[in-house]
Chains A and B, each alone.
Chain A
């Protein structure tokens, strides 16, 4: 066994991934060679330290709470209310087996998750990758970076000042994130594939002939619409109606 071969296998030796015969050969060499033993000691120290870095790290409490919430979703309000009387509960159980009702519940959950994710990104944006005043440049910049097209942003945003753009994410999906300033309010436009998200249900209103879903999360309003399988979502502390109007406004 030479130093060169020992050094080649010293990692697997340390990780206890070698067969017994090779281990014996390396044992013999390491007991006789100071410099190979030094190297092993250093590698062991590094491995130990990296393990300790992991052991020292605790997940933030807020994250733990979010995950525990995800683990135990609260029943939707109409479920809770209905559960108050046995008769109503029976109706719900029957209704829940019928497809349209179940679809409504699934839609609500999907929408709630997307609203959470959009507002989270608006509230805590990652640093912008491009900044400037021309949203057209951002559209150009997104080309080739995403698996979906980022069309001309909402025409209603003409009045707002474009501030920056970056590739971000909404839930586990890639998203284009553009930020604007309008009358001292920050506005985020997020563009991402619709996947299983459907713009339908009780929170949808029709503005200028377009279906716009509005919602509120943590004090922020969100307006979303779908165009060709891509979701456009505006979030801001501006009124939901203003966001819906901005999103629906037709190109003149």
Chain B
């Protein structure tokens, strides 16, 4: 018989367990939808479905993976705007991507991860680059890098073979590298590019400090080699 007054302790436990993944779901939803309102609604939809279809969860299996499967399904079915995505995919398909598209800033950060100033800019540029990434690549990158799911789990969520997950991650990350390089060019920071004549001063003083920092870093590198 349906209980009108109280839920079973198993139900309450299940709901509490689900709620423990709220931050992770929201962080990913924010990167999927690229705006807060949609992210909030997407996550709310995920929980409404999770609670409603609680019986679909097999106890003992990975609850986080189950919730993320609902997240991905809900996002794909209800939130993505198809027309909007095509532009990026066309660009991705047309332009070749080279592994050696790296910029000085990213290289510097990679070799000196303790440098907070470099890290701040690297993080910001990377966040922008992630937002620019076409959805079919953004989804596996978020699931793998942000949420640390295995290729097998991601393949289940996306409903594609593991090989596809692997190639999308590979290509997605290359595209992130290229976007980072694009940012660097816009900021006059790309490798061997000395056209930076202060055209991008709009970014403010902090950026200028890092530019100086980057130039001296580059000079030190040149001097060392």
Residues of A within 8 A of B (CB): 7-8, 11-12, 15, 17, 35, 38-39, 41-55, 57-60, 62-64, 66-68, 70-72, 75, 79, 83, 92-93, 96-97, 102, 105, 113, 120, 124, 126, 167, 169, 171-174
The answer to whether B47 touches A54 (Cβ under 8 A) is no
Which residues of A sit under 8 angstroms from B111, Cβ to Cβ?
Answer: 38, 41
User: Contacts A51-B145, A53-B146 hold; do A63 and B43 have CB atoms under 8 A apart?
Assistant: yes
- Complex CA distance for A12 and B145, rounded to whole angstroms: 12
| Binary interface encoding of chain B residues 75-111 relative to chain A, with 1 for a CB under 8 A from any of its CBs, else 0 | 0011101000000000000000001101000110111
User: Contacts A46-B176, A50-B126, A63-B26 hold; do A71 and B51 have CB atoms under 8 A apart?
Assistant: yes
For A172, give its contact among B1, B77, B106, B148 (CB under 8 Å).
B77
28 pairs from A and B in contact (CB 8 Å cutoff): A11-B166, A12-B151, A12-B170, A38-B107, A42-B102, A42-B107, A45-B106, A45-B113, A46-B176, A47-B145, A49-B126, A50-B126, A53-B27, A54-B28, A57-B30, A59-B26, A60-B36, A63-B40, A67-B44, A67-B47, A75-B4, A97-B1, A102-B2, A105-B4, A126-B37, A169-B41, A171-B48, A172-B45
For B166, give its contact among A7, A12, A45, A174 (CB under 8 Å).
A12
A17-B150, A51-B145, A172-B77 known; 4 other A-B pairs, CB under 8 Å? A17-B166, A67-B19, A70-B48, A71-B51
User: Contacts A68-B19, A70-B48 hold; do A57 and B38 have CB atoms under 8 A apart?
Assistant: no
The answer to whether B28 touches A96 (Cβ under 8 A) is no
- Complex CA distance for A142 and B81, rounded to whole angstroms: 14
Judged by a CB distance under 8 angstroms, whether B186 is at the interface is no
Which residues of B sit under 8 angstroms from A113, Cβ to Cβ?
Answer: 48
Across the interface, name the chain A residue whose C-beta is closest to B15: A71
- Complex CA distance for A105 and B145, rounded to whole angstroms: 43
The interface size bin for chain B is 35 or more
Judged by a CB distance under 8 angstroms, whether B49 is at the interface is yes
Which residues of A sit under 8 angstroms from B123, Cβ to Cβ?
Answer: 49, 52-53
Which residues of B sit under 8 angstroms from A45, Cβ to Cβ?
Answer: 106, 109-110, 113, 122
Judged by a CB distance under 8 angstroms, whether B178 is at the interface is no
Judged by a CB distance under 8 angstroms, whether B127 is at the interface is yes
The answer to whether A46 touches B19 (Cβ under 8 A) is no
Which residues of A sit under 8 angstroms from B49, Cβ to Cβ?
Answer: 172
For B47, give its contact among A43, A70, A97 (CB under 8 Å).
A70
Across the interface, name the chain B residue whose C-beta is closest to A53: B127
- Complex CA distance for A52 and B99, rounded to whole angstroms: 24
Across the interface, name the chain A residue whose C-beta is closest to B122: A49
| Binary interface encoding of chain B residues 171-200 relative to chain A, with 1 for a CB under 8 A from any of its CBs, else 0 | 001001100000000000000000000000
- Complex CA distance for A45 and B176, rounded to whole angstroms: 12
The answer to whether B4 touches A96 (Cβ under 8 A) is yes
- Complex CA distance for A8 and B171, rounded to whole angstroms: 10
Which residues of A sit under 8 angstroms from B203, Cβ to Cβ?
Answer: none
- Complex CA distance for A154 and B37, rounded to whole angstroms: 28
The answer to whether B170 touches A11 (Cβ under 8 A) is yes
Which residues of A sit under 8 angstroms from B148, Cβ to Cβ?
Answer: 51
Which residues of B sit under 8 angstroms from A44, Cβ to Cβ?
Answer: 110
Across the interface, name the chain B residue whose C-beta is closest to A52: B123
CB distance from B8 to the nearest CB of A (A): 13
- Complex CA distance for A17 and B176, rounded to whole angstroms: 21
Which residues of A sit under 8 angstroms from B5, Cβ to Cβ?
Answer: 75, 79, 83
CB distance from A77 to the nearest CB of B (A): 12
